[in-house]
Every structure is written in structure tokens, then in C-alpha cells.
Amino acid sequence: MTRTERDRPAALAASEASQAAIKRVNAQAGHTPGPWSIYFNSQDDLVIRKMFPGGQESHSIARCHSGAANAFLIAAAPEMLAALKAIVDCAGPGAGPEIGLALDAIAKATGDTP
């Protein structure tokens, strides 16, 4: 058995646990839970929208007139917030200064900044 074959079940379990954590955080969020997607009306008008599980649009979240890069960042926000919360939850003592950066980003995203 190769190392990849040996490690695959653990990697899959970790991935499933991570996805479950993201779903839990999204369920508790005060914002519209993800996933969000991008609809390109035109090159200058991109709509970030919430989708139903079947792929139909639920409602628009925002419009972005400043380029695709910003629209992609906005659309990824719910998953990034959930991932940061999961990382902070897993961090133990001595995790390092990066956890402080994650906590600051979470506070900014949730409106918990002074």
C-alpha cells in the first residue's frame, strides 16, 4: 500500500469534518448563508447571489461594478468566514500570531470591531 492510499481515508474524514463545520457555521450566521455565486450581467455589472440547492437563484446579495476579482472575493466570503472560524476552533495553545489575524478578520466580517 502506498502512502497516498494509506493516508486517503484520514484526508477524506478531515475534509468531511471541515465541510460539516462550515455548514454549522453558516447555519448560525447572521448573514445570508453561502454558497453565493456570481452572475455576469455584463463586464461592468456582476451580481452576487444566493442560490437554492437545486441551482435556482434565491435572491441577489450585492452588485459589483468594480471588476470580477472583487466579485469573486465577495462571493467567497461566507465560505472564508466559516473556514476561518473552523481554523480558530482547531488552534491550540501556542498557535502563533496568525490566529490573531484570523480573529481580527472574523471580527471585521461579523461587525464585532470597535
The pLDDT tens digits of the residues spanning 59-93 come to 788 888 777 888 888 889 899 999 999 999 988 77
Tally the domains of the chain: 1
pLDDT reading at 20 higher than 80: no
33 or 18: whose pLDDT is higher? 33
Average pLDDT of the chain is: 78
Q: What pLDDT is stored for residue 92 in this prediction?
A: 76
pTM over 0.95: no
Give me the domain span that covers residue 82.
3-110
Q: What is the 3-state secondary structure (H, E, C) of 14-80?
A: HHHHHHHHHHHHHHHCCCCCCCEEEEEEECCEEEEEEECCCCCEEEEEEEECCCHHHHHHHHHHHHH
